[in-house]
Structure 1
Amino acid sequence: MNFENNQVVVRKMARALARGGLANAYGHCSVRMDEHSFLVCAAQSPGLIKSGEAGSVVPVVGDLPEGVLGEVRMHQQIYQRRPEVRAICRFISPNVLALSAMGYTPKARHGFGSYFYPQVPFWPDPALIRNDQAANGVAQTMGGACAVVVGCNGAVTAGETPEQALTLAWFLEDAARVELAVLAAGMADKSPLMSEDQARNRATWQGRIAERMWDYLTAGDPE
């Protein structure tokens, strides 16, 4: 994918986060360009990014360019550790936020939750991630998982494609919705959880799973 195509993809992904109710005034997303750099969306509300508005090229290792949001350090740390990751979404969605306020993250209770088996990792510090030490801690907490909840400040998802990163963001919010419903019903200790084999079999990308969610969340996009 060439540079201009990456710019379009990042803009569409950002607007899709807003369209899907996953990001309000805050959030950002990126795509890896090569082993040394990635492209992050413009530093403003994801849903307000206009057609043709350029994102910024950021080094995987090194200082953030001027004007790039401080929390993009999390993208750097994840890309450094995870060569298979090609795209990242950082977002603050309602159910993930509500669940994290109780110190909880979703468990693998339904199909969309299976992608996060056995449970989404949790970074407990409520501070914004605006220094390398904190960003390193978030990436270490995430490990090889496809998502991490960042204190009471939302979450990060990482995928092998932009479509996967965006889809995982939507899946994580839905898994949080289910977890909250189970907790509200007083059934957290009684409701079934997926086994490792069940989750592995269910968490598939076959059948255009990510592509269909991408099409759904980007429908009507100006680009």
Structure 2
Amino acid sequence: MEPDALESAQLLVRRAGRALARHGLLHAYGHCSMRLDADHFLVCASQPPGTIGFGVPGTVVPLAGDFPADLLGEVRIHREIYRRRPDIGGVVRAMPPKAMSLSTLRRTPRVLHGMGSYFHPGTPLWDDVQLLRSDAQAEALVAQMGAAPAIVMRGNGVVVAGPSLPDAVVLTWYLEDAARIELDCAAAGGQPAELTADEATRRATRAGRIFERMWDHLSHGDPEV
């Protein structure tokens, strides 16, 4: 990759990490990455993403070979997603609070509103609270995730994947909003209407800069831009 292109990727990863932190989607724990080419991805620096300062580089990680010893263990999840899913360009490992609360009930957000439609027919649950720090665990989680845009980990946050890193950030926000709707409806004692397959398919559009506008909102105010 050309140096200018790599620096642009580094800046995008820093912006994404800070946006996720600024909007409460992760905290001390969490990370994000983007695919660089068929054989490498770039993951943010191994520190709380909200604390990543100007020019702090992430790490370029090869998809082949042994896992680098100096990386956070759960970056294995990113590597396995990029290995299995050539359509994926960005991955977020986050700790959104509403999705976390819902997961302790062994539930994931149902498809109840427009922004939830991108997760139809539903988001799988990884029913294990342990940290994923082995290749075997990462392989099992990504196998269960399948072609879904996200998987919720019981009591342990979420993993979200998209065609680009900005898309993955936006989908993380959408998933958390879907969990908020779910918990609000439960608190109200109501029985919300789930979107039908036809409603969800028609609503899950990318026309009209839907994703781009949300990315602009989430990344607005970044000090490095």
On whether the aligned pair clears a TM of 0.5, the verdict is yes
In structure 2, the residue corresponding to 1:88 is in which secondary structure? strand
Distance in 2 of aligned mates of 1:61 and 1:15: 28
| Equivalent position of 2:208 in the other structure | 207
The C-alpha deviation readout for 1:38-95, integer Å capped at 9, x for no partner, is 0000001010001100000111233222321000000011111110000011100110
In structure 2, the residue corresponding to 1:221 is in which secondary structure? coil
Work out whether 1:4 is the aligned partner of 2:11: no
The C-alpha deviation readout for 1:157-193, integer Å capped at 9, x for no partner, is 1111122101000000000001111222333xx3211
| Equivalent position of 2:31 in the other structure | 28
TM-score, structure 2 length as denominator? 0.95
The within-5 A match list for 1:172-211 is 172-187=175-190, 190-211=191-212
Work out whether 1:49 is the aligned partner of 2:58: no
Q: Is the CA contact (8 Å cut-off) linking 1:138 and 1:150 kept in structure 2?
A: no
Moved more, 40-49 or 191-200: 191-200
Structure 1: tracts of 5 or more residues without a match: none
Deviation of 1:218 after TM superposition, in Å, equals 1.2
TM-score, structure 1 length as denominator? 0.96
In structure 1, the residue corresponding to 2:159 is in which secondary structure? strand
Partner amino acid, structure 2, of 1:15: R
Moved more, 37-46 or 197-206: 197-206
Partner amino acid, structure 2, of 1:72: V
Work out whether 1:96 is the aligned partner of 2:123: no
Work out whether 1:14 is the aligned partner of 2:17: yes
The within-5 A match list for 1:45-84 is 45-84=48-87
| Equivalent position of 2:156 in the other structure | 153
Q: Is the CA contact (8 Å cut-off) linking 1:113 and 1:172 kept in structure 2?
A: yes
Deviation of 1:211 after TM superposition, in Å, equals 1.2
Partner amino acid, structure 2, of 1:42: A
Deviation of 1:103 after TM superposition, in Å, equals 0.6
Moved more, 45-54 or 209-218: 209-218
Q: Is the CA contact (8 Å cut-off) linking 1:106 and 1:175 kept in structure 2?
A: yes
Distance in 2 of aligned mates of 1:213 and 1:113: 14
| Equivalent position of 2:172 in the other structure | 169
Q: Is the CA contact (8 Å cut-off) linking 1:163 and 1:213 kept in structure 2?
A: no
Structure 2: tracts of 5 or more residues without a match: none
Distance in 2 of aligned mates of 1:151 and 1:58: 27
> Identity percentage over the alignment?
49
Q: How many residue pairs end up in the alignment?
A: 221
Work out whether 1:134 is the aligned partner of 2:137: yes
